[in-house]
């Protein structure tokens, strides 16, 4: 019996090994199938995440571009206004120089008028002295001793 028992036992072990291998093979195939499904799901999620990140990036760039475009327009306006201000300042400076020149010329003319007036007074004074001297000489002159 021991031999028969050993043979039966060996046969049973062989059958168990075959069954175990089949079970393991089945489990491995099932595991591999689940992994393939998970991998495919992960790949789809990765693609969706990349698409969403791309859309977000596009939206952010568009939003920033609006701000950049507005800043550019503001800069152009400021440059134009700065050039206009510089032109106005140059014109104002020219006009101020012209006014200064006119005032200086007027002042000089006034000085000349003052000098002429002073000269005329001096001449008038000298003529009054001469007149007084002539009147005195006429009154005191040679015919009136």
DSSP code string of 32-100: HHHHHHHHHHHHHHHHHHHHHHHHHHHHHHHHHHHHHHHHHHHHHHHHHHHHHHHHHHHHHHHHHHHHH
Mean pLDDT of the chain, nearest integer: 88
52 pLDDT higher than 90: yes
Q: pTM above the 0.85 mark?
A: no
pLDDT one-digit tens code per residue, 27-41: 899 999 999 999 999
Q: How confident is the model at residue 3 (pLDDT cuts 50, 70, 90)?
A: confident
């Amino acid at each position: 019996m021991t031999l028969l028992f050993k043979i039966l036992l060996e046969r049973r072990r062989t059958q168990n090994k075959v069954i175990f291998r089949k079970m393991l093979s089945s489990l491995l195939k099932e595991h591999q199938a689940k992994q393939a499904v998970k991998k495919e799901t992960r790949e789809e999620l990765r693609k969706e995440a990349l698409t969403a990140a791309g859309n977000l990036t596009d939206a952010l760039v568009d939003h920033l571009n609006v701000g950049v475009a507005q800043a550019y327009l503001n800069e152009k306006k400021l440059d134009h206004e700065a050039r206009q201000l510089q032109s106005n300042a140059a014109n104002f400076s020219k006009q101020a120089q012209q006014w200064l020149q006119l005032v200086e010329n007027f002042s000089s003319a006034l000085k000349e008028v003052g000098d002429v007036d002073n000269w005329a007074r001096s001449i008038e004074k000298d003529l009054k002295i001469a007149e007084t001297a002539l009147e005195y000489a006429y009154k005191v002159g040679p015919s009136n001793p």
